Amino acid sequence: MNLEELLTYMNAGNPLVVGTEAFDCMHALSYEAQRLTMELNSASHTPEEVRDLMSRITGRDVPEDFRLFPPFYTDFGKNIRLGRGVFINSCCCFQDQGGITVGDGTLIGHRVTVATINHGLRPDERHIHNLAPVTIGRNVWIGAGAILLPGVTVGDDAVIAAGAVVSRDVPPASIVGGVPATVIRMIE
């Protein structure tokens, strides 16, 4: 299985099951992500070098106005899509096998985690990785330490408060916070 076949398989919402060809392919590609993130995180880089490394991590060109403050962590990397003018602050973790899309102008605070995998709940199903994408709209602001769980969509212009755990979709132009995150108010 090659990368394109794997991405098609994963983006269709198929599970990754330990011991299958798809899982083995994903697992092999994760070593490349580990190597590249280690390179990103182990030295000081110019903004151009950071963009180059993120392009190699994601397997696609990132926009010239993309900014990231390392360290940054991902366990796959190839299923991240970044819009124009995106800023990612330090210590963020992207678990992207299910797909992470970040819209134009989005600001992501320190230590934000974006997860796209759940394991089966029963012990005999925990080897099954259930995938669901996370889609972040345009001009979103995600506060420090927030966690976005598999399958959520964050609407354009929304704000996610620091420390929030987002377990369901966030309406456009809303401010959400808490555990689990709920709408605090709308942005006028």
Statement: residue 188 has pLDDT above 90: no
Give the model's confidence band at 9: pLDDT under 50 very low, under 70 low, under 90 confident, else very high. Answer: very high
pLDDT of the residue at 3:
92
Concerning whether 119 is annotated as a catalytic residue, the answer is: yes
Least confident of 71-75, 108-112, 118-122, 157-161: 118-122
Mean pLDDT, rounded, of the chain:
96
Catalytic residue among 45, 110, 119, 127: 119
Query: DSSP string spanning 72-102?
Result: EEESS-TTEEE-TT-EE-TTEEEE-TT-EEE
**Which pLDDT value is given to residue 120?**
85
**pLDDT of the residue at 132:** 96
CA dist 120 → 82, 97, 128, 159 (Å): 29, 16, 6, 31
Report whether 87 contacts 68 (CB < 8 A): yes
Report the distance separating Cα 180 and Cα 43, nearest Å.
36
Q: How confident is the model over 46-103, as pLDDT tens digits?
A: 999 999 999 999 999 999 999 999 999 999 999 999 999 999 999 999 999 999 999 9
Q: What are phi and psi of 52, to 5 degrees?
A: -60, -45
Average pLDDT over residues 17-44: 93
Residue count (the chain): 188
